[in-house]
């Protein structure tokens, strides 16, 4: 199917690309810029929140775990593809450990099954991957040369354009 020219123009406006150094403050700045970009897309506010939560956790993971001792580059690209929204993150840090990337979908929360957990037993971490898996519709990791590449898919994020 041929894309119509107006659609292509709109898609041209829907790409976000940013490179920065992996520090918590740079991640915050990058996310603020990303939120501004996202707010200009026809994506429901509730879904935008989910996308921002997932990206924040994925970027924090890179800062904390891919570059545990030093900081290195992060490359973030995001775009609308038809009805889906896709973000790609690249870093040159430690490889993502196998098994950290289960299939998205309903997963056990950190405290599931405990109706009244003892506060002293509550975890102060480990929420990040749970949030990513809960909110993303697709996750795909690859290692190319010395780079990690994580692709995150949000299905049906963009509504159908109105009929002409």
Partner 1 sequence: MGLRAQHSNGFCLLQVEDSRIDAAGAIAFKEAVRQASEGGHEDVLLDLGAVDFIDSSGLGAVVAVMKALGPDRRLHLAGLRPAVAKVFRLTRMDSVFTIHATVADALKNAA
How far apart are CB 34 and partner 1 at their closest, in Å?
Answer: 11
Q: Which of residues 42-81 bind partner 1 (CB under 8 A)?
A: 45-46, 49-50, 52-53, 56-57, 60, 63-64
Contacts 24+ apart (CB under 8 A), 73-76: 73/19, 73/20, 73/21, 73/22, 74/19, 74/20, 74/21, 74/22, 74/26, 74/27, 74/30, 75/17, 75/18, 75/19, 76/16, 76/17, 76/18, 76/19, 76/20, 76/30, 76/34
- Minimum CB separation from partner 1 for residue 163, in Å? 30
**Contacting range for partner 1; rule: CB under 8 A; set: 23-31, 67-75, 82-90, 137-145:** 23-31
Measured distance CA(59)–CA(55) in Å, rounded? 6
**Cβ proximity to partner 1, 5 vs 68, nearer residue:** 68
- The CA distances from residue 153 to 1, 14, 110, 156, in Å, are 23, 15, 23, 10
Least Å distance, CB 6 to partner 1, is 32
Does residue 111 touch partner 1 according to CB under 8 A?
Answer: yes
Q: Which is nearer to partner 1, 11 or 131 (CB)?
A: 131
151: which DSSP letter?
A: E
Q: Specify the stretch interacting with partner 1 by CB under 8 A; choose among 11-19, 24-32, 70-78, 137-145.
A: 24-32
Q: Which residues bind partner 1 (CB under 8 A)?
A: 23-25, 27-28, 31, 45-46, 49-50, 52-53, 56-57, 60, 63-64, 109-112, 115, 117, 119-120, 122-128, 130-131, 134-135
């Amino acid at each position: 199917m041929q894309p119509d020219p107006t659609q292509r123009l709109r898609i041209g406006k829907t790409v976000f690309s940013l490179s920065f150094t992996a520090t918590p403050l740079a991640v915050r700045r990058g996310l603020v810029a990303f939120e501004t970009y996202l707010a200009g897309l026809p994506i429901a506010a509730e879904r935008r929140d989910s996308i921002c939560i997932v990206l924040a956790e994925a970027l924090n993971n890179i800062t904390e775990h891919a570059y545990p001792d030093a900081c290195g580059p992060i490359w973030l690209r995001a775009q609308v593809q038809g009805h889906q929204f896709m973000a790609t993150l690249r870093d040159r840090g430690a490889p993502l450990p196998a098994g950290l990337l289960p299939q998205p979908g309903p997963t056990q929360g950190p405290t599931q099954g405990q109706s009244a957990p003892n506060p002293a037993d509550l975890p102060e971490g480990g929420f990040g991957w749970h949030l990513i898996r809960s909110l993303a519709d697709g996750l795909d990791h690859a290692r190319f040369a010395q780079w990690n590449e994580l692709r995150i898919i949000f299905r049906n994020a963009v509504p159908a354009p109105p009929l002409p």
